[in-house]
Amino acid sequence: MSKLSFRDHLCKGCGLCVAACPKHLLSLDTSRLNQKGFHPAHIEDQDACIACAICATVCPDVVIKVEK
């Protein structure tokens, strides 16, 4: 099983990871704001993640960590 973790306090909510996910598992969490005032990215279904790491690759702020 893979695990994605996010450094929410660094996320600027750009949505690049959301657009890049081939399984469409990521979204911006519109129910909360991080310390910078942005809606951080999060994963909807951790168990469905295939750990392709495309999201982490496209993230300009190195917010996402992929563990296999």
Mind listing the pLDDT tens digit for each residue in 20-68?
999 999 999 999 999 999 999 999 999 999 999 999 999 999 999 999 8
- Topology given in CATH for the domain delimited by 3-67: Alpha-Beta Plaits (3.30.70)
Domain boundaries, the chain: 3-67
Is residue 1 predicted with pLDDT exceeding 80? no
Task: Report H helices in 1-68.
Answer: 16-20, 54-58
Residue 34 has what pLDDT? 96
Instruction: Give me the residue label for tokens 């890049």.
Output: 20
Both structure tokens of 63? 């917010």
Cβ neighbours for 2, distance < 8 A, ≥ 6 positions apart: 46, 49, 50, 51, 66, 67, 68
CA-based radius of gyration for the chain: 11
- Asked if residue 44 lies in contact with residue 25, where contact means CB atoms within 8 angstroms, the answer is yes
The pLDDT assigned to 52 comes to 96
